[in-house]
Every structure is written in structure tokens, then in C-alpha cells.
Amino acid sequence: MKEALDRLRPRLMEIFTYLHANAEISWHEVETTNYIFDLLTREGFSPVRFKNITGLYVDVGNGEPKVGLRTDIDALWQEVDGEFRANHSCGHDGHMTMAIGALLLLKELAPSFNGTIRVIFQPAEEKGTGALAVLKEGIIDDLDFLFGVHVRPVHELEDGTYCAALYHGASRLLEGEIIGEDAHAARPHLGVNAIEVGATIIEDLRTIHTDPMVPVSIKMTKFQAGGDAGNIIPGNASFTIDIRAQKNDVMDALAQGVKRVIDSAKLLYKVQIELRTVANVVAAEVDLTAQNIMEQAIVQAVGLSKLRKPVRTPGGEDFHHYAVQRPHLKSTMLGLGCGLTPGLHHPKMKFKQARLVTGVEILTRAVLLALASGKTKEGSA
């Protein structure tokens, strides 16, 4: 396998370079989809575009068991060197490279196996809605295993080390509107100051208490009110609240707390406030069988000394919707220590691209081990 990877290395770097330079934001991954589709078609695969969304999937082999490998394909929209543009600062260019690399490695090795390997190229992870859309495509329902991968910053995994599970937290993004009427600055009694309403909401968010043993974060991250004139009291405002919790039940409790805060502000100020959820990512539900398989794959590829304990991180990842929505699914994510600095979502994030080749080997070993595991279980039943 390592000799085959050495032959593929220049091609993988070429693929990464293209994907990095041609980033596309969530739900607009049209050319990314076309590039992957055309590349895989030329390599002799039969990729299938999703019916209702961007992205695609490809099957290798046939029959049972069915093992999935999922990668995200979208980029963030952010300012880079003074210019706003699509930017792969979350490592999805690397994730795609590893998924494509696993397919090319399987083609190179031509292993004999019973079952199906399904590689899924999912859109809109950064919006937290891509996995839910893929679930509606119906291609997850018949899978037995599903593996993912994410590059990790150096403060979570040192360069050249790997973990078999990522315990992401739950995250929820709420957008709200305070709807009132403007008033003259000299006559505050004739209106309601939307800024004061927002300040009350901010203060009351601090009164929401949950299990102190579970890490949480709740804060207002955006507030916009008023125009150019400073002698007008703004009656309208828009705001965003970001909520994070390490467990799904605690996230539900936080959401209920936010609702109480908003309802209280509405009564106190006699104002209308509309609140809606624009993103909702669940906390990780890792399957121990899948985690054990990934550990075996890591040890086979790089040795026991490079294996690290699962990482618990407050960041969110919509990959975990798959396991929560389909409880039969055995899933986990590989954590790839690749010297990533200064951090995920930083506009100048960088990592050691050579580690992607190791990621290809680990993921390929994992899907093959899962197929063998499923076959053994089926044979013993």
C-alpha cells in the first residue's frame, strides 16, 4: 500500500492544489462537483450527482455490507488579504483530496472484497445543513458504517499524530429581529429603544444555567440597529446568538433558556421579537465499533506511538447528523494531526499537505477493515 501511495503522491498534491485554488461557498459548489465528477469518470468510476443539491457520490464494489466515507466540499466566505472571497480555511480541500485519494488507492490496489464502499462528497457543511440534505437523497439509509475525517489544529493534535474519534460539540445559530418604531431622541417615552432591548437580552443570557460539568457557550455575536442619524432612537434591530454545548441534551436546555429570555424581553418592553434557527449542528454520537476500527487503521498505517486519545472539541461538524438521524449507523471521524496553524477558520490557515497522504492510507485501511468486520459479523450470525 505504501508503494502505491508513493506513486500517487504527486497526483494527490496536484488535486489538492486545484481544489485549494478553486474554492466555492456552501450550496454553490458547482465547479467543484463538476471537477470531481469528471476526474472520477476519467479514472473509470461511475459517480452519481445528487438529484436536488450540489455534490455527488460513487460506489466501489457491490452487495453487503456497505461502508461509507464522507467528505465535505464547501468553503468559507471571508476576508483574505483585504479581499472577500471563498477560502478553504477549514481544510475541506484536504478532506476532498483524501477521499479522492482513497478511491485512487483502491483502484491502484484492486483489493478483493465483498461489499460496497460508498464515497460521499457532501455540500454545505459550513452552513450546518448539508448532511441533512444528503440524508434526504436516501443514500445513507443502507450504509452500515460511515467514516469521516477532519484536519486538527496543533493545540488539539501535534503534527504526525492521529485520533480515531472527534467528539465535536453541538452548535446552534439563532437570528432575531426586534420590531418596533423609531422615536425622537428627545422623546424616548414615545418608542422603545431596540438597543436597550438587545442589552437586556445580552445580560439575561448570562442567567441561563445548565449542568456545570458540561462545557457550554452562549453569547450574542452580532447586533445591528440605527442609521446615520444620532438623534433618532432606533425601534428596530437585528441580532445573532451563537450557542454551543458538548452534549445534545444540554443544547436543548440552552435553547429553552434562550426562549425564556426572549419571551421575558417581549413582555418587559412590550415589543415584538422574532427568533429563528438558521443552523443546528448536533454533538458527536461516536460508535465504539467504528472507533476501534479506525484505531486499528491508524496503528497499521503509522504505528501505536502515533495514536492519540479521542479529541473533545467545542467546534461543530454536521457529519454527526448522520448518526443521530440514523441510529443504526456506526460512525466516527479520523482526527488528522498535520501541524495546522494558526487555527481553523483563520484566513491564513495552513497545514502540512504531506500528511494528507497518510490520511489516505488510514481511511482506506478503515473502510477495508469495516468491510471485513461486517462480513465476519454476518458470517457468524
pLDDT score recorded for residue 18: 98
Report whether pLDDT(379) > 70.
no
Domains and CATH numbers, the chain: 2-169+284-380 (3.40.630.10), 170-281 (3.30.70.360)
Residue 298 confidence class, pLDDT cut points 50, 70, 90: very high
- Which of the 8 DSSP states describes residue 310? P
Report whether pLDDT(231) > 80.
yes
Share of the chain above pLDDT 70, in %: 98
Report whether pLDDT(232) > 80.
yes
pTM metric for this prediction: 0.89
Alpha carbons within 13 A on the beta-carbon side of 301: 30
Nearest to 90 by CA among 165, 15, 149: 149
DSSP string spanning 43-86? TT---EE-SSSS-EEEEEEESSSEEEEEEE--BEEEEETTEEEE
- Which of the 8 DSSP states describes residue 318? G
- CA 368/CA 372 separation, integer angstroms: 6
124 contacts 27 by C-beta, under 8 angstroms: yes
DSSP string spanning 199-244? HHHHHHHTT----TTS-EEEEEEEEEE--S-TTEE---EEEEEEEE
pLDDT score recorded for residue 375: 62
| Average confidence (pLDDT) over 237-243 | 97
